[in-house]
Amino acid sequence: MTVFSLGWGTSALGYTRARFLIWQMIGVLFFALMIPVSAAIADRSGRKAMLGAATAGIIAFGAVFQPLFGSGTALGVVAFLCLGLTLMGLTYGPLGTALAELFPTPVRYTGASLAFNLAGILGASVAPYAASWLATNYGLAYVGCYLS
């Protein structure tokens, strides 16, 4: 959501880095607000239900990825960033508990920490390259499919 969109927004859409970073900061505010919101919802409805709903939202977001981001309009790009980062934030509230529950008590924090950080290193480090390749070779709609 952040690395690919910054690169595409400045190179393909032609926005200045300063302007696009301001828009990303607006989106990150939504991300940050959704962490405690999703944690509170998970406390009431369960972490699996919250993560499932957030995942369903992310899958649906893949369908509007190209229409919003590809519009190139300031409103479309800001809406894209706010919606995408909102959905990302919704996963973070219940994620710590969900990851910790996967491991037995003696290694719970080590397991959760390794799982989270290795997923970030191995998964998230490849995503911007894959998204750039897809967008360049096939268009933004394929990045939305990849995200979904």
pLDDT at res. 123 = 86
Dihedral angle sign, alpha carbons of residues 34, 39, 40, 44 = positive
Cβ atoms 58, 147 nearer than 8 A:
yes
Q: 62 is in which domain, residue-wise?
A: 3-147
Q: In this predicted model, what pLDDT tens digit does every residue of 96-108 receive, in sequence order?
A: 999 999 999 999 9
Q: How many domains, the chain?
A: 1
What share of residues in the chain are helix, strand, coil (percent, to 5)? Answer: 85, 0, 15
Among candidate residues 4, 19, 20, 2, the one with its CA nearest the CA of residue 142: 4
Q: In this predicted model, what pLDDT tens digit does every residue of 44-97 receive, in sequence order?
A: 999 999 999 999 999 999 999 999 999 999 999 999 999 999 999 999 999 999
Residue 135 backbone dihedrals phi, psi, to 5 degrees: -65, -45
Tokens 């390749």, located at residue = 133
pLDDT at res. 1 = 85
Residue 101 backbone dihedrals phi, psi, to 5 degrees: -70, -15
Q: In this predicted model, what pLDDT tens digit does every residue of 17-32 receive, in sequence order?
A: 999 999 999 999 999 9
Helix (H, G, I), strand (E, B) or coil at 102: coil
Q: pLDDT-derived band of residue 41, with 50, 70 and 90 as boundaries?
A: very high
Percent of the chain, pLDDT > 70?
Answer: 100
Cβ atoms 32, 89 nearer than 8 A:
yes
